[in-house]
Structure 1
Amino acid sequence: MKQRIITGALCAVLLLPVLFFYNTLIFNLVIAIISAVSVFEVLQAAGLHKNPAFLAVCILFAAGVPFVSFTYFSFLSFFFMALIFVVLIFTKNSLNFEKVGTVFPMLVFVPFGMAATVYLRDFNEHGLFYLFLAMIGSWVTDIGAYFIGSFWGKHKLIERISPKKTVEGAIGGFVSCIVCFALAAWIYQHFFLGDTATVSIWMLVLLSIPCSLVGMVGDLAASLVKRNCHVKDYGNILPGHGGMLDRFDSFVFVTPLIYCAVYFIPFIS
């Protein structure tokens, strides 16, 4: 637990200078790096990283998505999937088709989830605030679940996928997310917006419910892939947490949800 807390604190410190460049291409670059590293970890877990052509196609797609607009994401995804099949067709026995099928959703979802941070920035002037909400929906839920589950967890949630997760932890993470969403909305209203705009706190509280649940689904989905690949963690780049994707697994699910919600619902008027 100590190592996990120290690593988390260091990551939080490193996050601040990145957010300083939120409105620049440097932010896109950082997101692209995280996306590429996460995809590499997925391929490594499945043993698919040893094929140079397959690895190159996946990494280039992961690193390229944060630099294209949401409009062009579908076009890039089409070419990515087409190239995947080209590689599979011309590769002899060095790629396991079943393993490719197992990890393929993550190969698309992870870059899209990371790029959603850029889509939020480019779509809405309050993008940084919504990015913080995505962090709350994923990481506060995870932190709340971890600590509540560690001290009071007794009933297993879905043991066959993630043996350490408990019902009590899930409830703790869920409540933590709701409280922090409401607190973040209040702070943004009173300390940043003032009389220039109005934050609908109750609507954001309602948004926190699916965000927390989807964050848990993202965590479990990543664990499901790990179990099928027979690995405990996606890597060891973040001591106490595991790999990059072990830290961003729920984030890549929550951020697109917030982007979709913001696109259709005016939470700030």
Structure 2
Amino acid sequence: MKQRIITGVIAGAGFISILVLGGLPFTLLIFILGTVAMAELLKMKGMSPFSYRGFIGFLFLWLLLLPETILSFDPIHVERTEMFLLMIVVLLALTVVTKNSFTFDEAGFIILSSVYIGFGFHFFLAARFMEDGLVFLFFVLILVWVTDSGAYFCGRFLGKHKLWPHISPKKTIEGSLGGIVFAVIIGSIYAIFFPVFSTYMITLLFILIVSIAGQLGDLVESALKRHYSVKDSGQVLPGHGGILDRFDSLIFVMPILYLLTFI
């Protein structure tokens, strides 16, 4: 527990400091976090990050993660989505060239993993550079953290009915609802001092979306770990597991906020 607290304080303080700083340091941090998270997923699958399979995975990830200011295809008049589709075609052709030593299953895993990790961190990065992006991201981070903490304590003291025992045996319905209630309370207080949206109804909708989607993102990663029979996604953060363990809710929330035009 002592190690977990020390790691949490140091890593949290460092992350918040660079988030506030923004600019190139924050871009570099997100690039590193996304790359490490991708490496963790590759290891779950049994692919070495240092193999040609790993290199392909990182190429797909970086294509989706890096902002236009760093990676742009305008000089060759190609959209990023078009380049991504082209790479998928090449990846599928690779299954033929290698006579299935590189399989369709591995190709699919790389594509889906890069979308999962790449878009999640990409939109987190994009949100930082919005007008009032820092206030917006702090709002999201607080909601995710409060939901997680509220769900833990409500589940521990009030939990009786399992939420999804085959995926995450310890989570309860009472804990999940408690996390949402805590998010609404703390999120409403935050919005009083830092109004992100023009009306409270939009703010409330935003809080509910982040809280619910954050819990779903946590379950998605739990399902991944259960499928691949691993306890943690990695050991980068002593006492906390891997990068994916710490950012699973956030990278699931951000693309949803983009699709709903909050970003």
**TM-score, shorter chain, exceeding 0.5:** yes
| 1:54 shift after superposition | 1.7
Q: Give the aligned partner of residue 21 of structure 2.
A: 21
Secondary structure of the residue that 1:154 maps to in structure 2?
Answer: coil
Matched, 1:112 2:119: yes
Q: Give the aligned partner of residue 10 of structure 2.
A: 10
Q: Give the aligned partner of residue 184 of structure 1.
A: 190
- Once the two structures are overlaid, the 10-residue window that deviates more, 210-219 or 37-46, is 210-219
CA distance in 2, matches of 1:158, 1:2: 30
Q: Give the aligned partner of residue 85 of structure 1.
A: 92
CA distance in 2, matches of 1:5, 1:134: 22
- Once the two structures are overlaid, the 10-residue window that deviates more, 95-104 or 220-229, is 95-104
| 1:202 shift after superposition | 3.2
1:102-141 correspondence to structure 2 within 5 Å: 104-122=111-129, 124-141=130-147
- Once the two structures are overlaid, the 10-residue window that deviates more, 251-260 or 215-224, is 251-260
Counterparts in 2 of 1:222 and 1:77: CA distance versus 1, 3 Å: farther
Q: What amino acid is aligned across from residue 9 of structure 2 in structure 1?
A: A
CA distance in 1, matches of 2:116, 2:178: 27
CA distance in 2, matches of 1:140, 1:90: 50
- Give structure 2 stretches of 5+ with no counterpart: 73-78
Q: What amino acid is aligned across from residue 21 of structure 1 in structure 2?
A: L
| 1:178 shift after superposition | 1.6
**CA shift digits 1:31-87 (9 cap, x unpaired):** 111111101100100102267222112113323433333995424432442343244
Q: Give the aligned partner of residue 267 of structure 1.
A: none
Contact preservation (8 Å) 2:124, 2:251: no
Counterparts in 2 of 1:263 and 1:158: CA distance versus 1, 3 Å: closer
CA distance in 1, matches of 2:119, 2:80: 8
CA distance in 1, matches of 2:88, 2:139: 31
- Give structure 1 stretches of 5+ with no counterpart: 265-269
CA distance in 2, matches of 1:125, 1:2: 39
Q: Give the aligned partner of residue 246 of structure 1.
A: 245
Q: What amino acid is aligned across from residue 187 of structure 2 in structure 1?
A: F
Q: Give the aligned partner of residue 215 of structure 1.
A: 214
Secondary structure of the residue that 2:157 maps to in structure 1?
Answer: helix
Matched, 1:67 2:62: no
Identical-residue share of aligned pairs (%): 36
Counterparts in 2 of 1:69 and 1:173: CA distance versus 1, 3 Å: farther
Counterparts in 2 of 1:98 and 1:151: CA distance versus 1, 3 Å: farther
CA distance in 2, matches of 1:64, 1:32: 11
